Amino acid sequence: MPLWALVVPFCLGLFVQLILRNAGHLPPLQTLAVLMGLILFPLACVVITAICEDDRILISKEGILFPLLLLPALKFRRERLWPDLCNIGLRWQSTVRFQGSDYICLYFKSGGMCRLGLRNLPRTDLEQMLLAIEVWGSGCRRPPELVDFQNTLQNENKGISTVSYTQMWEEELRRRFSATSFVPLEPGHEMRSGHLKIIRQLAFGGLSAIYLAQLDGRELVVVKEAVVPANADLQASRKADELFNREARLLIKLQHPCIARVLDHFAEQGRNYLLLEYINGQDLRQLVKQHGPQPEDTVLAWALQVAGILRYLHGQDPPVIHRDLTPDNLVLREDGKLKLIDFGAANEFVGTATGTLVGKQSYIAPEQFRGKAVTGSDIYAAGCTIHFLLTGQDPEALSVSRPRELNCQVSAELDELVQRCTAMETEDRLPDAASLERAIAGIMSRRAALLAESC
């Protein structure tokens, strides 16, 4: 409640009382002026407050809605559609931190422009805005320096340091001329009779890749691709196809608020694809790289959500094993809730066809490493993920994780829970996700009780 909202009505009441008590003795013009001022002042304050509090840019598939303060520069047209965006200007001097003179400028065909200071925009929000411009504002002119800036910003948000040209060249050679014949799809590639268009690669490795794509020219989706190598025998290829289709049908049936929906699956030109919901947010690996190890209370709240997700997945008939539960596949949304993404159906598909293991070694349970993933394998990966969130370091592969050895602020109780989750043998771990959920909730309640006693 602002101060004027308390003072002005009080003064107005006193003045009205003064008028009533001294009716006929006060000068009418001055009395009317003061009375109108006391009435108009709060109205003006309400309008000014509404304008000042409207400080967010809203982006949708149709266009951009700007704050009221920017109306004069926009020729008093607050909402602009994507086809109206014609050009983008950029002033950017340093990659370390944005200067006060750094800005991005949006120009529109119908007149008007909007200059946004880079220092006033969070980097993750800025990255999302540039991605929206790239996808929905494809008709505007994007200068080369803007593309370089966007790539640099994405690398910084993912914690990737600047690489030399030699490293870039070597990585490109490995990507295009690897030992396998797998070549990922290029941006602009169209699928499903033009209904699906690849925007860019999100991840790539081995015989699979993940892409950001556009469905029917509007909706953003994620495409996960898996390829059986050409040298695979016919029996292995058929088995992999059968496994992929079975897994995809199971995943499409999943309905959980903290799980990215699998929208569809299809095959095209000898490759199999999963179509997944696109989640706007930052994955936990990026978050930890930017902000360091997270407080124990925060990690416990996230871990409780993860345990609930696993309880739902493992409760399906047959149980759904994620197989790739890592900080990279847990996205933190703006409302503070986690979203689990990137199911491992394609991973098992590739592994069956090639006889190899696909996944992130630091988070793979011993039995999964031997090719026999069970529900306990996800419990192991959950323990490894908690270790990373508490320490900022990936756990040692195929070992029991002890986060307290790297971060002395971790409580002994949580350290013991992580050890139980990452035990080498499945019978030594927590028996199921429900047990993990209860254990985490117990730690949280005991910590809350201790805090209440200390206060």
Would you call 38 helix, strand, or coil by DSSP?
helix
> pLDDT class for 25, splitting at 50, 70, 90?
confident
257: left (phi over 0), alpha (psi -120 to 50) or beta: alpha
Q: Which residue has the higher pLDDT, 146 or 159?
A: 146
Report the pLDDT value the prediction gives residue 57, as an integer from 0 to 100.
87
> pLDDT class for 172, splitting at 50, 70, 90?
very low
- Give CA–CA dist 131/217, Å, rounded: 15
- Give CA–CA dist 443/367, Å, rounded: 28
Mind listing the pLDDT tens digit for each residue in 330-376? 999 888 899 998 765 444 444 444 444 445 778 999 988 887 889 99
Contacts of 256 (CB under 8 A, 6+ apart): 309, 312
- Kindly calculate the radius of gyration of the chain based on its CA atoms and give it in whole angstroms: 28
* Distance linking the first and last C-alpha atoms of the chain: 28
**CATH class, 190-454 region:** mainly alpha
Q: Quick check: 339 and 396 in contact, CB under 8 A?
A: no
> pLDDT class for 45, splitting at 50, 70, 90?
confident
Report the pLDDT value the prediction gives residue 177, as an integer from 0 to 100.
39
Q: Quick check: 312 and 437 in contact, CB under 8 A?
A: no
Would you call 330 helix, strand, or coil by DSSP?
strand
236: left (phi over 0), alpha (psi -120 to 50) or beta: alpha
The pTM score is: 0.65
The whole-number average pLDDT for the span 121-144 is 81
Report the pLDDT value the prediction gives residue 167, as an integer from 0 to 100.
47
Mind listing the pLDDT tens digit for each residue in 364-407? 999 888 878 899 999 999 999 999 999 999 999 889 999 999 99
Q: What's the DSSP call for residue 424? A: S
Mind listing the pLDDT tens digit for each residue in 174-224? 444 344 446 778 888 999 999 999 998 877 655 567 889 999 988 899 998
The whole-number average pLDDT for the span 35-48 is 79
The whole-number average pLDDT for the span 119-125 is 81
Q: Quick check: 395 and 422 in contact, CB under 8 A?
A: yes
Report the pLDDT value the prediction gives residue 162, as an integer from 0 to 100.
46
Mind listing the pLDDT tens digit for each residue in 221-265? 999 887 766 666 777 777 777 777 877 888 888 899 999 898 998
Instruction: Check pLDDT > 70 for residue 149.
Output: yes
The whole-number average pLDDT for the span 135-153 is 80
Domain ranges of the chain: 4-53, 60-157, 190-454
The whole-number average pLDDT for the span 405-428 is 96
Instruction: Check pLDDT > 80 for residue 173.
Output: no
Instruction: Check pLDDT > 80 for residue 309.
Output: yes
Instruction: Check pLDDT > 90 for residue 433.
Output: yes
How high does pLDDT run on average in the chain?
Answer: 82
Distances from the Cα of 429 to the Cα of 48, 315, 417, angstroms: 59, 18, 9
Q: Quick check: 324 and 382 in contact, CB under 8 A?
A: no
One DSSP character per residue, 160-224 reads: PPP--HHHHHHHHHHHHS-SS---PPPTT-EETTTTEEEEEEEEEETTEEEEEEEETTTEEEEEE
Instruction: Check pLDDT > 70 for residue 94.
Output: no
Q: Which residue has the higher pLDDT, 350 or 77?
A: 77
Report the pLDDT value the prediction gives residue 305, as an integer from 0 to 100.
97
